[in-house]
Amino acid sequence: MKTVLVVEDSSSSRDITSHFLQQGGFRTLEATDGADALNVLKQRHVDLVLTDIMMPNMDGWAFYKEVRQDKRYNLTPFVFLSVLDELDDQIKGLTLGVDDYITKPVTPPQLIARVNTALMRSERLEQYFFRNPVTDLETANYFRHLLPLEAQRCREASQPLSLLVFGIGNYVSLVRGHASWFAESASREAGQKLKERTRDYDVIADMGVGRFAVLMPNATAEGVKTWAEKVIANWKLSLTWPETEQNIGIDIGYTCDAISPGDFDATELLDKNLETFERKW
């Protein structure tokens, strides 16, 4: 279920818009103006922002510019929903780079269709990235493309190559006990922490649902296991659940295999280790 942040100073309009979206299968968060919405974004994961323009404290124009300055929201669709129906206003919004500009009044089917289109456009764009511009981790598709090529290169050069798969052990409990957006936030924090501990030429990818694959050239499996054990031993990571301000720990585990030397099918080995974490969950 995707989460849409609805930003609107009119409580009645905000409630109606949220109701339309919920009927369309979306989870909604609400904010009264741009400044309030920025506070929501600091605490919650949002898949799309749907905002009015004319609001007190921080209007939609200023809110949009502020959001786009943070690279975490580079791929987050941003849609204006406004009574400003002048062509100049629409051109201004689209020139700024918003994903869509919807004028009120709008019917529920139209709203749902436009929101879905913006989300699908963003998802298609992500498929073309080798590296996620938000997390700075490689994409799963690119990792799967690179893995057999790197395995062949290292075998031909008689160089060691090791494959690590990390997984958040309590990912499912984070989803069930809290929320999917909270588990996704935990995954982003864990991925960043792992990236900080890898070498510049290691390849680390987000494989989804709290799992990460790391390809480590010129490193034996024994040496990598020693390194991974140190990472686990020093692992201290938690997130605060905003409703209770309780700190929730993020557990991590790993598997490690030598890709080279050896004649293992690297892709099959990757899938096997990814499935290992799924079975544990």
Does 3.40.50.300 match the CATH number of domain 140-280? Answer: no
What CATH fold (topology level) applies to the domain 3-127?
A: Rossmann fold (3.40.50)
- Average pLDDT of the chain to the nearest whole number: 89
Structure tokens at 176: 């069930």
Cα gap 150→162, rounded to integer Å: 10
Q: What does residue 130 show for φ and ψ, rounded to 5 degrees? A: -80, -35
Cα gap 121→24, rounded to integer Å: 18
Mean pLDDT by 10 residues, the chain (281 residues): 92 94 93 94 88 91 91 87 82 86 90 93 75 80 91 92 93 84 87 93 93 94 94 90 83 92 86 81 53
DSSP character for 262? S
For the chain, the maximum distance between any two Cα atoms, rounded to a whole number of angstroms, is: 68
Cα gap 131→140, rounded to integer Å: 9
Name the residue ranges covered by the structural domains of the chain: 3-127, 140-280
pLDDT digits (tens, 9 = 90+) for 54-78: 999 899 999 999 998 887 788 899 9
Alpha carbons within 13 A on the beta-carbon side of 52: 23
